[in-house]
């Protein structure tokens, strides 16, 4: 009996001593915020869906995403640019592109969740169209994560797509941002030469694939439609298939940057996903 009690006491001490490392901070994504980086409308949806909904107005959103990770904050896409917030009528679209409005600056939305632009370690953009790179220079110290093919894509104005002094990592394919598999840039060319998407593995929500403009809205995704302005139709189709395969592999949701209906069902900053 006595040896049983002693044994139990020893066992109890042993068990009590166990959960030491359970209090270590989580070494993975902590939070993902969806920020409203623009709202727009375009006169003819068929610019994005050739032959479908010709002449029908298209309403879109332009979301940005802030991801908190123990090794640093990552901004995914930067929206239309905070200067648009001061334009009462918004910034008019050219050649059928959306007219963009901005209700609140990105800087103000970041401040609301306790962040200054200098707190951002990485800025990754899906591509270099103006509704995605509008605020890149709000973060002059942040490391740009961009495909080399996009960085070097000749611009219509004959100038660089980024300021040459902005720190940049020019990627050639997929990239595991923090080396732990939690945030992975995926090469998804076609909309532009170096388009990329982002796979984020959230501890509670699960895996989420942020589309960029590999697809613009759900109906185009379901029907695998390719907008007429994309630089490469075959590569766009291949990228969509690759995304579908990776979503199946990771049980990932698809969050479509410009899809207004989907966006209205999602929580926006200061609320977040974890
Ligand atoms: Zn876009």
Write out the two tokens for 184. 């992975």
**Residue 151 pLDDT > 50, yes or no?**
yes
Distance 126 CA to ligand 1 centre (A): 9
What pLDDT does 21 receive? Answer: 52
Q: How far is the CA of 78 from the centre of ligand 1 (A)?
A: 11
Instruction: Give the pLDDT of residue 4.
Output: 47
- CA 213 to ligand 1 center in whole angstroms: 6
pLDDT digits (tens, 9 = 90+) for 27-69: 799 999 999 999 999 999 999 999 999 999 999 999 999 999 9
Q: What is the pLDDT of residue 24?
A: 53
| pLDDT band (50, 70, 90) for residue 16 | very low
Percent of the chain with pLDDT over 70: 91
CA distances from 40 to 61, 92, 207 (A): 6, 9, 28
Residues 6+ apart with CB under 8 A from 29: 67, 68, 69, 182, 183, 200, 201, 202, 203, 274
**Edge-to-edge order in the sheet of strand 120-124:** 99-101, 31-42, 58-69, 72-76, 120-124, 143-147, 168-171
Looking at the predicted structure, is the pLDDT value of residue 204 above 90?
Answer: yes
CA–CA gap between residue 231 and residue 235 (Å, rounded): 9
pLDDT tens per residue across span 225-236: 999 999 999 999
Find the 158 Cα to ligand 1 centroid distance in Å. Answer: 21
Q: If you average pLDDT over residues 147-176, what whole number do you get?
A: 95
Expressed in angstroms and rounded, the spacing between residue 84 Cα and the centre of ligand 1 is 15
pLDDT for 157: 83
pLDDT digits (tens, 9 = 90+) for 111-126: 999 999 999 999 999 9
* CA dist list (Å): 63 to 3, 8, 102, 125, 170: 66, 58, 11, 12, 24
CA–centroid distance, residue 249 to ligand 1 (Å):
26
Q: Compute the average pLDDT of residues 191-212.
A: 98
If you measure from the C-alpha of residue 8 to the centroid of ligand 1, how many angstroms do you get, rounded to a whole number?
Answer: 65
Calculate how far, in angstroms, residue 207's C-alpha sits from the geometric centre of ligand 1. Answer: 22
Rounded Cα distance, 219 and 58, in Å: 12
Contact 120, 174 (CB under 8 A): no
Q: What is the pLDDT of residue 158?
A: 84
Whole-number Å distance, alpha carbon 193 to ligand 1 midpoint, is 14
What tens digit of pLDDT does each residue of 69-98 get? 999 999 999 999 999 999 999 999 999 999
Q: Determine the distance separating the centroid of ligand 1 and the alpha carbon of 62, expressed in angstroms.
A: 7
Distance 59 CA to ligand 1 centre (A): 13
197 with 210: CB under 8 angstroms? Answer: yes
**Residue 2: pLDDT above 70?**
no
Token pair recorded at residue 36 = 């409203």
The 3-class SS string of 229-243 reads CCCCHHHHHHHHHHH
Residue 140 in tokens: 């002059």
pLDDT at 11: 47
Residue 207: strand pairing partners: 201
Q: What's residue 13's pLDDT? A: 46
């Amino acid at each position: 009996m006595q040896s049983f009690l002693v044994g139990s006491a020893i066992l109890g001490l042993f068990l009590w001593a166990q959960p030491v490392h359970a209090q270590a901070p989580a070494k993975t994504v902590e939070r993902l915020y969806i920020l409203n980086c623009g709202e727009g409308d375009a006169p003819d949806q068929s610019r994005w869906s050739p032959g479908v909904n010709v002449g029908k107005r298209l309403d879109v959103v332009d979301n940005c995403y802030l991801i908190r990770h123990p090794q640093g904050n990552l901004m995914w896409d930067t929206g239309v640019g905070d200067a648009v917030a001061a334009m009462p009528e918004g910034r008019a679209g050219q050649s059928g592109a959306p007219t963009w409005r901005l209700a609140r600056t990105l800087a103000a939305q970041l401040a609301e969740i306790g962040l200054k632009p200098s707190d951002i370690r990485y800025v990754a953009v899906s591509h270099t169209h103006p509704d995605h790179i509008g605020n890149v220079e709000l973060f002059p110290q942040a490391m740009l994560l961009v495909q080399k093919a996009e960085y070097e894509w000749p611009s219509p104005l004959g100038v660089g797509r980024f300021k040459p002094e902005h720190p940049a990592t020019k990627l050639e394919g997929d990239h595991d941002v923090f080396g732990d598999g939690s945030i992975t840039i995926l090469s998804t060319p076609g909309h532009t030469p170096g388009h990329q998407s982002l796979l984020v593995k959230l501890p509670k929500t699960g895996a989420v694939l942020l589309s960029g403009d590999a697809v613009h809205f759900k109906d185009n995704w379901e029907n695998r439609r390719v907008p007429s302005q994309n630089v490469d139709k075959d590569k766009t189709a291949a990228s969509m298939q690759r995304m579908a395969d990776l979503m199946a592999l990771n049980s990932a949701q698809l969050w479509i940057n410009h899809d207004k209906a989907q966006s209205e069902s999602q929580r926006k900053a200061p609320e977040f996903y974890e």
